[in-house]
Amino acid sequence: MKKLEHAFEKLLWSSRFIMLGGVIFSAMMALGAFYMATVDALTLPGLLRDYSSFELGDEQRSKLRAKVITMIVKSLDGYVITAILIIFSLGLYEFFIGKLEAAHESPLAPHLIHTGGLDELKERIAKLLVLVLVIEFFQRALFLAFDTPLDLVYLAVGIVLISLTLLLSKLGPHGENGAH
């Protein structure tokens, strides 16, 4: 019976290696997000060249300006998502597979890898996701039509709610500053 128990425990312990799939696919998604953000960033010089044309009318320049800002925001968004996926991938590896020796030899490791547990990883990713949502909100707000004063009130309420969200994300679980 002891042999069977030991074999079962060994099998159960080895089951953590299924998380290698999450590590690999997170890293692949990070590459995809990085690629998309870079393609968006590479479109900017052409848009900026068009923006500098003296032949543009005010309305055309305004629309092009919104498009340029949107591309900048999309690029930033893509790079933040890339960062989330890399941190997630590194965290999964550290939690389930083993210590990343090459990472711990780097002076950057303390900033990227915190082995404080799954809750700390979730908290770090949640803060980055809030940042992504804020970026998305402002990207969408660029293209809103403000036809009535109420539309401006809605925008203001959205900005206040985002500000509150950012404030709350800075606070720790018991109201102290998020710096641990």
d(CA 55, CA 18): 59
Query: How confident is the model at residue 29, as a pLDDT?
Result: 96
Query: How confident is the model at residue 114, as a pLDDT?
Result: 60
Query: How confident is the model at residue 169, as a pLDDT?
Result: 73
The answer to whether 131 and 120 are in contact (CB under 8 A) is: no
Angle, to 10 degrees, between the axis of helix 58-92 and the axis of helix 19-51? 160
Query: How confident is the model at residue 96, as a pLDDT?
Result: 85
Query: How confident is the model at residue 35, as a pLDDT?
Result: 97
**Residue 120: its H or E element:** helix 118-141
Sequential pLDDT tens for the chain (180 residues): 889 989 998 999 888 899 999 999 999 999 999 999 999 999 999 998 888 888 888 888 888 888 888 888 889 889 988 988 888 888 888 888 888 877 777 777 666 666 566 677 777 777 777 877 887 787 777 777 778 888 888 888 888 888 887 788 777 554 445 444
Tell me how far the alpha carbon of residue 61 is from its chain's centroid.
31
Query: How confident is the model at residue 45, as a pLDDT?
Result: 92
